[in-house]
Structure 1
Amino acid sequence: MRLGRLLLACLLGLGLLAGLASPVDARPDPRWVFYTKDKTRYTSPWFDGSHRIMVPFGCTSAPYYSPDPRCSDDRGFHHGIDVAMQCGTPLYSGRRFRVVSNDSLGPAYGDNPVLIRNRHLGWDVVIGHTAKVYVSVGDRVRKGTMFARANDQGAPDGCHLHFEQRSVGGGLSTAVFPRKLLGLTPVKR
């Protein structure tokens, strides 16, 4: 009987610790607005937990974008993917990269966006709405290194991260669908 209680107490303790160890997605941000019907949760080597896409790549009904001739019904074009996640969610390097200056980026990406480059693979990635950035321009970052946290700076619809893949040194016109680079994997329920 005593062993049974001890085992039960251990299991309850582990359950409590598991809950505390993964605050990601514990409470949805009440400001989140999803401009997609996709309710799938995705994991990625770039962030902790599993999360939904708020604004997908391409034509969108999200009101933040000017009408774009590529889109019907006066819809705008979103050049990246916005992934809803709690403020403070760790961001990891999914690949090796070098940090480059973010001076070319505007305020739509928040106060401290991260611009990273992998010249060998031929891409730059803009990561918007970051906080507590732990890397500086010129740093070389290895795969798996935590380098920033999610925030809501410049994000009217709550905490999330914006991922935008471009050609090396390219602007918005070179943006491509970043799903493969992010390694987004659907969570089976």
Structure 2
Amino acid sequence: MDLYRLGIKFFAAGERIRPAEFIPIFHEWIQKQAFENHLLIDVHNYSHIHEGPGILLVAHQGNFSIDMTDDRMGLLYYRKQPVETLTEIIKPAVEGCRLLENDPRLRDRLRFHTDEVLVVTNDRLLAPNNDETFSTFEPRLSSALNQVLGKTFKLSRISDDPKERLTIRAVTITVRG
């Protein structure tokens, strides 16, 4: 499966931050070209859309957004260009979380969970929302998450509705000893 049109979302913890606070940070990322192998282009404010993309940072390779879907704020990275491995999709999202957590304007107010991740396929042709696609994709995604985050995850489909995009919830497995 040559799937690369994926979104990965890390959920935010801490106090609720107004989406507009991310606009100057994203503009600064553009000025500094803060991500390796990404051409950062523009910022759009969609915070007026209920449970929408919030603040969107457009890049040639993929888009970053402060996503508000299901009233759960998080950083969502959607890959638009082909990659060799799934880790190349996860790493920019993790880096974006790290940059936001360390930004002096947000420090001590924002943290991202790495024990729950949402992965959304954005290609219904290559990745229809069915058992076969999930079974094929699950071991690759599980391995990539483990490689980047150093944790073992249990993956499950959010919905089995074929009209919906394949969306996978990954939650860390707690080992009791």
The structure number with the bigger radius of gyration is 1
Q: Which structure dedicates a bigger proportion of its chain to helix?
A: 2
TM-score surpassing 0.5? no
Provide the TM-score with structure 2 as the length reference. Answer: 0.29
